[in-house]
Amino acid sequence: MTFREYLKDIKGDVCIRVSPRFEGDIVVYSAVYALYKLLEESGNTVCVSWPGHLPPAANRVFPMPLAGDGKGATVSIEKNKVVFNGKEFSYKYTPAELLIDGLDEPDDVLAALFVSLYAGTRGFAMDDVSDEVLQWFQRLLEKGFPHYKYVDLIYVISSPDVFHVWGEVMQNAQLKDDIVVSVYEKDDTLIPPEWFKVASYLARYTGKGRVYVKREQGYEYFDADGSRGMVDSI
Regarding whether 209 and 150 lie in a shared domain, the answer is: yes
Boundary (domain end) residue, out of 63, 96, 129: 96
For 225-233, what is the mean pLDDT?
A: 77
- The reported pLDDT for the residue numbered 66 is 75
Are 133 and 174 contained in the same domain?
A: yes
H or E segment at 125?
none
Is the pLDDT at 45 greater than 60? The verdict is yes
Q: What is the pLDDT of residues 55-74, one digit of tens each?
A: 665 666 567 777 655 556 66
Of 92 and 44, the structure prediction assigns the larger pLDDT to 44
Please check whether residues 119 and 206 belong to one and the same domain. yes
Above pLDDT 70, what percent of the chain?
23
pLDDT bracket for residue 221 (50, 70, 90): confident
- Across residues 149-153, what is the average pLDDT? 35
Whether pLDDT at 49 is above 50: yes
Same domain? 124 vs 215: yes
Radius of gyration from C-alpha coordinates of the chain: 18
Domain endpoint, select from 45, 63, 96: 96
CA distance 221 to 64: 32
Indicate whether 89 and 152 sit together in one domain: no
Is 121 or 127 the better-scoring residue by pLDDT? 127
The domain boundary, picked from 64, 96, 128, lies at 96
Q: For 174-187, what is each residue's pLDDT tens digit?
A: 333 444 444 433 33
Q: For residues 111 and 43, state if they share a domain.
A: no
Three-point CA angle 203, 176, 208, nearest 5°: 15
Number of domains in the chain: 2
Asked whether residue 83 falls in the same domain as residue 140, the answer is no
Same structural domain, 67 and 154: no
CA atoms within 13 A on the CB side of 110: 21
Range of the domain at 76: 3-96
Contact indicator for 99, 113 with CB cutoff of 8 Å: yes
What pLDDT is recorded for position 138? 52
According to DSSP, the β-strands at 13-18 and 228-231 are: unpaired
